[in-house]
Amino acid sequence: MSCEVTVRLFHRLRELEGTREVRVTPARCNVSGLIESFLGNRPEAAEEMLDGRGEVSSRYTIVVNQQVITRDRWEETGLANGDEVAFLTLITGG
C-alpha cells in the first residue's frame, strides 16, 4: 500500500529545499519510512537532520496532522494519502 503525504518544512530545511512543502511517497507508510524516503536523496537535509549516530537529532519534532509523534511511536504511526507532516526544529535564542 502506498501513500502520498505533504511534508511541511521550516527554517534550515526550507532553505535547503527552496520551498515550504514537498510531496513524498514513502516506501513504508509510517513516520520512520517517511523520514527515510525524505532523507534518502537529500544529502544536505540528512546532514541537517541527523546527529553523529545517524539518528534524527533531538532538535527535531515530527508532527502528523497537528499531533506530535514521539520518537518511540514513529514505526507504529501509519500515514495515509493526504496526511500533513511537519518537521519542526527547536529554536533557541537569547
What is the predicted pLDDT for the residue at 37?
Answer: 96
Instruction: Give residue 45's domain range.
Output: 5-89
Q: Is residue 61 part of a domain?
A: yes
**Does the residue 72 lie in any domain?**
yes
Give the whole-angstrom CA distance, residue 68 versus residue 47.
23
Domain assignment present for 21: yes
94, part of any domain? no
**Per-residue pLDDT reduced to its tens digit, 49-77:** 999 999 999 999 999 999 999 999 999 99
**How many CA atoms within 13 Å lie on the side-chain side of 44?**
7
pTM, entire model: 0.91
